[in-house]
Amino acid sequence: MTNTKHNQVMLSQPRRAGFTLVEMLVVMLILSVCVALIVGVTNNALRNSKDNETHYIQDTVLAAIKVYHDETGNWPPADPADPHNTTAMLKAMRNNKPALAKLKMLPKMALQRNDAGLLILMDGYGYPMEYFRTGGLGGKSPQLVSQGAALDDMADNINAGLH
C-alpha cells in the first residue's frame, strides 16, 4: 500500500523541470537594467576622459602661446584663410624654440594634417580646435575653442583662454 500512496503523491505534485516564463522575464529585466547602468557609467567616464584630454591640450598650447608672447612681445598670428586659424599660429610657434619645447609635450594625436596638408590642432574628441588671436578676456588675449562632444551643440564647447 505504501507503494500506491507514494505513486499518488508523485502524481499530485507536478515536477518542475525549468524556469517559468515570469521568472525568465524577471531575470531578463534585472540583466537589462544592469547593462543600462554599466553603459551609462562607461559613456560618462569616456566623455570625462576626452574632456580632460581636451583641457590638457588647450592648457599646453596656451602655455606655448604665453611663452611665444613673452619671447616676441606679440601673440602668434591667425590666418584668415585657415578655417580654424591654427596653421599660422602653430607654424610661428614651431620657429620659436621655447614655445616649440612646450608644443612637444602634446600627445601625437593633437597635431595632425588636414586634407589640404595644413597642420591643425585636434581636441580629445578628434575634432579640429579653433584659435582666436584676440578672443579671450576683454578681447585682448588668445583663446582656443573645442567643439566638444557634439559639433552642432555650442553649449558643450570647451573654451580656454589666457587671463
Per-residue pLDDT of the chain (163 residues; tens, 9 = 90+): 456 555 555 556 666 678 899 999 999 999 999 999 999 999 999 989 998 999 999 999 999 999 999 999 888 888 766 767 888 888 888 899 999 999 999 999 999 988 888 888 999 988 888 888 876 555 678 888 888 877 666 656 777 776 5
Distance between CA 86 and CA 144 in Å, rounded?
9
pTM beyond 0.85, yes or no: no
Q: Which residues, listed in sequence order, are joined to residue 143 by a DSSP beta bridge?
A: 132, 161
SS3 helix, strand, coil % of the chain, rounded to 5? Answer: 55, 10, 35
Taking the C-alpha atoms of 20, 21, 22 and 24 in order, what is their torsion angle to the nearest 10 degrees?
Answer: 90
3-state class (DSSP) for residue 76: coil
